DNA sequence: ATGAAAGCGCTAACAT
DNA sequence: ATGTTAGCGCTTTCAT
């Protein structure tokens, strides 16, 4: 029973500035000025025009303005992954990053179009700038964006060319914090769980390994695994089945850590009795699982705001620099 | 060190179809036709034009096309909430819902712009249709969208006017399933936790209460609480402090349920020994917490796809109907 | 198979 | 304080 706004239109097409101008006997440029609050329009005229516009149900044609002004007031947010169901949930770029971006763009009166990198490469949306979430294993995504010539910023790790603006957490510092935590608990045989092809994860491992140098603790194994609980569970289960012994785990995400804990408990091992586990992200479930998960908190919302600010600066021709945001260890039970 | 695409431009502005046409000595309309794969252009001409366009770095000006064609190939997705950090975090529904929407829109070659209802009301983005996520307590959000005259669909509960297209889970059925589960476990004094101002939650409670009729079990109390673990914890803690006795809980979200379990355990009560708990959503953490949470699963990704399909149908003038999607009880330990 | 003209709705630049 | 002119880049319509 939907009616939409069919093109039958009994003469009720959306009115334009010209319609309002004709109605009032003014020039359409005056309408334009009045509606955009130009100070050169007399207050009374402005009020008259605004009221008439409202009465007639006028709405600005944004495509026309964009065409005329050669800009879009739109930032494209590109998610560097196929839009598959389970991946979206488990990837470490949750909605809070989008929330931060949205908050900042909204405040600046900018629109935000969301695409995947595939779609972006095929039909780049009209936008003044681009925020890329995740760089992917190779630099394909960034390359696709560079091809458009649009200014862009990236969430992730600063492994790309030096001029690129990257915002991300200080993943090395996160790795160091995890190492310190495990060392303070006298853990020596440590496991790292995470896909180090992923730049951020690589940094986490690097910080982790660095901080262990010169101590009696060491990374005895590193397992590439996806950002999911299932992957963490399987990895740990396999190791235990093989008889690998370890007493500490640093996982590249909380989901992985939770999966690891499950696998440990399923084999009768206690966390943190036998094995200590540190996750990454401080995701919502971390405080609720049993044992409560010790983890490295990164502030995505702030990251999102920074991304948005920086891309807007670039769009405005103001320049911007990369930023590694501080992280924090949240010591809970694990 | 960012350079952007400064307006200094040594004559290197983005080329237009006219530029390509001049370069090749053809009419710009021929360029237009060639680039849009019109069959009336000779194959050799098309190839020539495409190659030249690529060589010159041509990119379609979407604003111009939109203006000329009077449409945008864009769907606005409106999030009916302030982009506040914790709500976004604790409310997982938008993320997978967005995934489904994106998948479907992407496949249809549509762009997706994301806004909040506030921003939408101030500056409606240019879009051919709207997907509204969540209706809010009153009907404000839907009203703001209706004011634009754009076709729209809503995620939530079908409590609005009859013509409105609503996609959502069958929340009443979810409530019934929860009731059946608790009855089968001989639970009699039941608690409902959730904000029934929220249409979906209201339906969950209604189905729940309906299914209890004529049994010896009953809802002894219903507490309005936000969708967070903290709210669930506080609500249950307060009740226990007051000495209220109950042996079953149905929570409007998994987060609430997890908070409730925490509070129960903190007071030395066992789940499910003393109290059974049913959540809603089957969110990622549900299978990992201890005890593993029994919950009602709703498939957001499919919901997102449906929303997108239906709004595209409306945009195409094809009509669409509302849909309550089936839910499923996932019996775990709680 | 290709082209010329017109115009989508808006605003910058230059009058008045 | 208001108006005139022109044109953003594209595609529809009507020739040829």
What CATH number corresponds to the domain at position A28? Answer: 1.10.260.40
- Looking at the structure of chain B, the number of domains it has is 3
The residue ranking higher by pLDDT, A92 or A323, is A323
Whether residues A104 and A199 share a domain: the answer is no
Tell me, what CATH number does A143's domain have? 3.40.50.2300
Any domain includes A331: no
CB contact under 8 A, B113 and A112: yes
Whether residues A317 and A215 share a domain: the answer is no
- What's the pLDDT score for residue A97? 86
Residue B112 lies in domain: 72-168+300-325
Any domain includes A90: yes
**What φ, ψ does residue B234 adopt, rounded to 5°?**
-60, -45
The pTM for the full model equals 0.86
B317/chain A closest Cα distance in angstroms: 6
Whether residues A89 and A232 share a domain: the answer is no
- pLDDT tens for each residue of A284-315: 778 778 888 999 999 988 999 999 999 999 99
- What's the pLDDT score for residue A95? 74
Whether residues A247 and A307 share a domain: the answer is no
Strand C reaches within 7 A of the A60 CB: yes
Task: Answer whether A16 touches B (CB < 8 Å).
Answer: no
Instruction: Find the Å distance, CA of residue B26 to C1' of nucleotide D4.
Output: 33
The residue ranking higher by pLDDT, B75 or A148, is B75
**Average pLDDT in the B119-125 region?**
82
- What's the pLDDT score for residue A3? 32
Which residues touch A57 (CB under 8 Å, ≥6 apart)? Answer: A14, A15, B149
pLDDT, averaged across chain A: 88
Whether residues B205 and B290 share a domain: the answer is yes
> 158-177 in A: which are within 8 Å (CB) of B?
162-163, 165
Given a contact cutoff of 8 angstroms between Cβ atoms, the answer to whether A46 and A91 are in contact is no
Q: Whole-angstrom distance between the N-terminal and C-terminal Cα of chain B?
A: 56
Whether residues B318 and B175 share a domain: the answer is no
Strand C reaches within 7 A of the B45 CB: yes
Place of tokens 């709207």: B130
Whether residues B37 and B78 share a domain: the answer is no
- What's the pLDDT score for residue B7? 34
- Looking at beta carbons, which residues of chain A come within 8 Å of B229? 284, 287-288
Any domain includes B65: no
Task: Give the residue from B59, B81, B104 where a domain finishes.
Answer: B59
Instruction: Find the Å distance, CA of residue B219 to C1' of nucleotide D1.
Output: 70
What is the C-alpha separation between B312 and B318, in angstroms, rounded?
9
Task: Answer whether A6 touches B (CB < 8 Å).
Answer: yes
Q: How far is CA B212 from CA B186, B189, B216, in A?
A: 12, 11, 8
Reading the block at residue B47, the tokens are 């190839």
Any domain includes A334: no
Any domain includes B66: no
**Average pLDDT in the B249-255 region?**
93
What is the C-alpha separation between B197 and B173, in angstroms, rounded?
19
Whether residues A27 and A47 share a domain: the answer is yes
Question: A95: closest CA among A325, A304, A287, A327?
Answer: A304
B216/chain A closest Cα distance in angstroms: 33
Q: Whole-angstrom distance between the N-terminal and C-terminal Cα of chain A?
A: 55
- What's the pLDDT score for residue B94? 61
Probe site for chain B from A99, A104, A334 (most B CB atoms < 10 A): A99
- What's the pLDDT score for residue B85? 37
Asked whether residue B9 carries a pLDDT value surpassing 80, the answer given is no
Any domain includes B13: yes
Whether residues A128 and A244 share a domain: the answer is no
- What's the pLDDT score for residue B29? 96
Confidence of residue B242 (pLDDT cuts 50, 70, 90): very high
Confidence of residue A197 (pLDDT cuts 50, 70, 90): confident
Given a contact cutoff of 8 angstroms between Cβ atoms, the answer to whether B96 and B307 are in contact is no
- pLDDT tens for each residue of B148-201: 889 999 998 988 888 999 999 999 999 999 999 999 999 999 999 998 888 899
- What's the pLDDT score for residue B228? 83
Confidence of residue A117 (pLDDT cuts 50, 70, 90): confident
pLDDT, averaged across chain B: 88
What is the C-alpha separation between A258 and A254, in angstroms, rounded?
6
Question: A276: closest CA among A257, A289, A259?
Answer: A257
CB contact under 8 A, A85 and B67: no
**Average pLDDT in the B214-223 region?**
94
Any domain includes A66: no
Whether residues A271 and A183 share a domain: the answer is yes
Chain A to chain B Cβ contacts (< 8 Å): 192
- Looking at beta carbons, which residues of chain B come within 8 Å of A109? 123
Question: Chain C bases under 7 Å from protein CB?
Answer: 1-5, 7-13
Whether residues A53 and A162 share a domain: the answer is no
Question: A78-82, A232-236, B280-284 — which is least confidently predicted?
Answer: A78-82
Whether residues B183 and B293 share a domain: the answer is yes
Asked whether residue A131 carries a pLDDT value surpassing 60, the answer given is yes
Instruction: Please tell me whether the peptide bond between B272 and the residue prior to it is cis, using omega within 30 degrees of 0.
Output: yes
Confidence of residue B81 (pLDDT cuts 50, 70, 90): low
Any domain includes B181: yes
Using CA coordinates, name the residue in chain B closest to A310: B2
DSSP character for B324? E
Strand C reaches within 7 A of the B17 CB: no
What is the C-alpha separation between A248 and A182, in angstroms, rounded?
7
- Looking at beta carbons, which residues of chain B come within 8 Å of A151? 2, 4-5
Asked whether residue B283 carries a pLDDT value surpassing 70, the answer given is yes
Which nucleotide has the shortest C1'-to-CA distance from B42? C1
- What's the pLDDT score for residue B88? 38
What is the C-alpha separation between B106 and B124, in angstroms, rounded?
21
Question: A175-179, A247-251, B148-152 — which is least confidently predicted?
Answer: B148-152
Strand C reaches within 7 A of the A27 CB: no
Confidence of residue A31 (pLDDT cuts 50, 70, 90): very high
């Amino acid at each position: 029973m939907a009616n939409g706004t069919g093109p039958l239109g009994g003469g009720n097409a959306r009115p334009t500035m010209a319609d309002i101008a004709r109605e009032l006997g003014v020039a359409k440029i005056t309408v334009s000025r009045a509606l955009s609050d130009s100070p050169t329009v007399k207050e009374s005229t402005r009020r008259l025009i605004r009221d008439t516009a409202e009465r007639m149900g006028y709405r600005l044609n944004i495509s026309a303005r964009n065409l005329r002004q050669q800009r879009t007031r739109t930032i494209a947010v590109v998610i560097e992954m196929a839009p598959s169901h389970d991946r979206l949930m488990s990837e470490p770029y949750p909605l809070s990053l989008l929330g931060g971006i949205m908050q900042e763009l909204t405040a600046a009166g900018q629109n935000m179009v969301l695409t995947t990198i595939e779609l972006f490469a095929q039909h780049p949306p009209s936008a003044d700038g681009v925020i890329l979430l995740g760089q992917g294993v190779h630099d394909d995504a960034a390359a696709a964006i560079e091809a458009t010539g649009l200014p862009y910023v990236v969430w992730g790790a600063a492994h790309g060319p030096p001029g690129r603006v990257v915002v991300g957490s200080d993943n090395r510092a996160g790795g160091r914090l995890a190492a310190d935590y495990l060392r303070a608990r006298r853990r020596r045989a440590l496991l790292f769980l995470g896909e180090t092809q992923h730049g951020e994860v690589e940094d986490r491992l690097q910080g982790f390994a660095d901080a262990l140098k010169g101590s009696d603790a060491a990374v005895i194994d590193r397992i590439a695994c996806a950002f999911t609980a299932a992957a963490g569970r399987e990895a740990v289960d396999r190791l235990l089945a093989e008889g690998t012994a370890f007493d500490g785990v640093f996982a590249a995400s909380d989901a992985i850590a939770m999966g690891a804990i499950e696998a440990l408990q399923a084999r009768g091992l206690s966390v943190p009795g036998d094995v200590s586990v540190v996750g990454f992200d401080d995701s919502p479930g971390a405080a609720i699982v049993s044992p409560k998960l010790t983890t490295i908190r990164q502030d995505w919302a702030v990251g999102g705001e920074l991304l948005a600010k920086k891309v807007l600066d670039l769009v405005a021709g103001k320049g911007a620099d990369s930023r590694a945001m501080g992280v924090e260890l949240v010591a809970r039970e694990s």
